[in-house]
Homo-oligomer: A and B are copies of this chain.
Amino acid sequence: MFSMDVDRRTVLRAAVAGGAGVGLAATGLGDSARAGQPTDPDGPARGPRIAILLFDGIAPIDAIGPYEVLSRIPGASVVTVGKRTGPVRTDNGVLTLGVDRTLSQVRRADVLLVPGGNVHGVQTDPDTIRWIQRIHRHTTWTVSVCTGSLVLGTAGLLRGLRATTYWSLRDQLAQYGATFVPGRYVEAGRIMTAAGMSAGIDMSLHLAARIAGERVAQALQLVVEYDPDPPFDTGSPEKAGPELVRLALELLGQPAPR
């Protein structure tokens, strides 16, 4: 059972293990002792409980981008959830992320985040899909990044809604009864879907504003120093053009579309 008490203990244990309070004067960055606790006495006494679904095949930036933003909302607590506790392998097989709680251990969340990647294993796992449906009943926000929206679709949560997903898979949204609309993120009722990978950062700032107000969200943008200035302007298929689209699909390891 996921509760603030359990989560605070986890955070404090990690703080002790990680030596929080040591060296902060030197590096000034990341005081785990205060994570998960209100930082503003005028802010909410208890912040949002955020559950992040992790699975084999995940595109890690889909989870990590929003994590860096949302975990620093005053009073926020974050739990990683999966079929089993322990490591999951990311989509291209190298990196692992750790799952702290099994599905049955997490029964409520204010924010449910479903990342994308190679999501077929999630879409075909009835336990995970049912868990998403159950958690969604009581969330304030159910959000996805990249192909995470296809998982929400599989759970039946996108019917009749406007949504987005990874650029190469936009036409798949229709099969879940959703209508693709362009943009970095799409808010539809209490569901928010982000475009691919890095779009989770833009979405999480918008979500932070919804949860904690614009001032906090603006400060969080500074916390993650999100002042983007990419060396190229090829971040959407429209801007990249067909030749780069083909190369991008090749680099993703999939055949080019006919």
Task: Please give, as numbers and ranges, the residues of chain B lying within 8 Å of A174 by CB-CB distance.
Answer: none
Given contacts A196-B225, A222-B167, A226-B230, A118 and B251 within 8 Å (CB-CB): no
Which residues of A (172-222) have their CB < 8 Å from a CB of B? 183-184, 195-199, 201-202, 205-206, 209, 214-222
- How many residues from A make CB contacts under 8 Å with B? 111
Name, among A31, A199, A217, A234, the residue most crowded by chain B CB atoms within 10 Å (CB to CB): A234
Flag if A92 contacts B72 (CB, 8 Å). Answer: yes
Q: Which of B223, B224, B225, B253 contacts A35 (CB 8 A)?
A: B253
Residue contact B230 to A244, C-beta cutoff 8 Å: no
Q: Per a CB cutoff under 8 Å, which of B29, B78, B219 touches A147?
A: B29
A133 within 8 A of B: no
Q: Which of B18, B87, B92, B206 contacts A56 (CB 8 A)?
A: B18
Q: 13 A-B Cβ contacts within 8 A?
A: A11-B92, A18-B57, A24-B118, A29-B91, A34-B253, A35-B92, A64-B65, A196-B225, A197-B225, A209-B232, A220-B248, A223-B248, A224-B235
